[in-house]
Amino acid sequence: MANVVLGVSGGIAAYKVCELLRSFTESGHDVRVVPTASALEFVGAPTWAALSGHPVPTDVWTEAHEVPHVRIGRGAELVVVAPATADLLAKAAHGLADDLLTNTLLTARCPVMYVPAMHTEMWEHPSTRANVATLRARGAVVVEPAVGRLTGTDTGKGRLPEPDEIFAVARQVLQRGRLEPDLTGRQVVVSAGGTREPLDPVRFLGNRSSGRQGYAVARAAVARGAAVTLVAANVALSDPAGVKVVRVESTGQLRDAVLSAAADANVVVMAAAPSDFAPVERAEHKIKRAADGSAPTIALRQNDDILAALSADRPRPDMVVVGFAAETGDGAGEVFAHARAKLARKRCDLLVVNDVSGGQVFGSHDNEAVILGADGSRVDVPRGSKDTLAHAVWDSVTARLTPQG
């Protein structure tokens, strides 16, 4: 387990960070909490000490003979600052060090992750945006704030993401060691979940996709520095930290949302499972049982092929397009024969192939896959977490991205 420094700056969202601290400690990490003086106005030192199991330093003068402003930063394997206020981001970007936390940030040689929380106007101010860009350019992970209720009656972008989702990103950064922010400055679109085509006001034609793999792909992109839009189809999962989520239901809605978001994207990862078919007509009323016991006949039509359309008409010529394929073998061929044919037909750059014979993968927290490239490459990803597969996908993507100017 890792030595983690949890920096807390003076925002009202500091109370939510208690849950983040608990997630770290219950996972076995050794956490030192370093609050600013203003953070202690929201949550006191005894609370941080009780939850972390360590005394809480509050200034550079306490136990000065141990040089805490150097020792704490040097010993860290990850520094997470949550909430990161506009003031804290400005100090970090400009190398100011007037308290223990900002001194620690200058001495740390490990990955640093900032989780901003502030009012929308402060987040959108040019100074804050410039400071965030500076920190990202230096390799820091800056997680985009969530949209929601702020202090008082205000609502907008600037809310601290949920603690469990912050922890999910931090865990990925830790697992990858010195994770290179190789997607910094890149716009990424990820789709997830399964679409539903209504048969009547009650029933629908759908599939078993849970969206977990697409969500893992989105989280991994955040951990690697990307600006991520996630188009989620009927997914009952918490919004990943730092991600713009667009919720859809049908394949048509998924197509429209993905194509709209893809206009400025460097990468599109189609991890969703769109329904191949939709009913020709939707019944206006619930379809009733027939008195003679007969079943209704439902005529189906093919839905648009979103992945093929996007690959054929890319908004940017250097866009990397990734598809996912859940395949089973049959009398016409084995799994990877079907997958290679699909890769050629869809004209995408990469195809992530899952063998779902017997219902494997769906809803599971683990996955295994083969990543096929249009260039003939093949990467086998053995069974492991969906986070592991997500990073394997991004490793293959980054190798194909045009260098930034």
Q: Pairing mode, if any, of strands 30-35 and 112-116?
A: unpaired
Question: Which token pair is 385?
Answer: 């977490």
> Rounded to whole angstroms, how far apart are CA atoms 339 and 347?
12
Active site residues: 207
The sign of the torsion formed by the CA atoms of 234, 236, 239, 243 equals negative
